[in-house]
Amino acid sequence: MPGTNVTKGLFQSIYYVQLMNGESEEEVFHHDMERQGWSFVDQRGSLYRYEREQEVLEIRSTQVKTMLKTS
């Protein structure tokens, strides 16, 4: 997602995302995980599974809030 801006908060595990036209919160989430080197494995309900170098990461749920949206 060229142009997408993802910024980590200073004191909490919060990420601020600025969406560009046509982007969804879920697309940005998956793209950012891939940018960090994680490969999407599967999704079961709100559980997302990713792998990187034989390590498995399970994210039980995400709460994505659209803070900024450009027109």
- What pLDDT does 61 receive? 73
- At 16-65, the pLDDT tens digits run 677 777 777 788 888 888 988 999 999 998 889 999 999 999 988 766 55
Q: Which residue has the higher pLDDT, 31 or 6?
A: 31
CB-facing half-sphere around the CA of 70: CA atoms within 13 A: 10
Q: Which residue has the higher pLDDT, 13 or 53?
A: 53
Please tell me the distance from the alpha carbon of residue 63 to that of residue 25, in angstroms, as a whole number.
Answer: 10
Please tell me the distance from the alpha carbon of residue 12 to that of residue 49, in angstroms, as a whole number.
Answer: 22
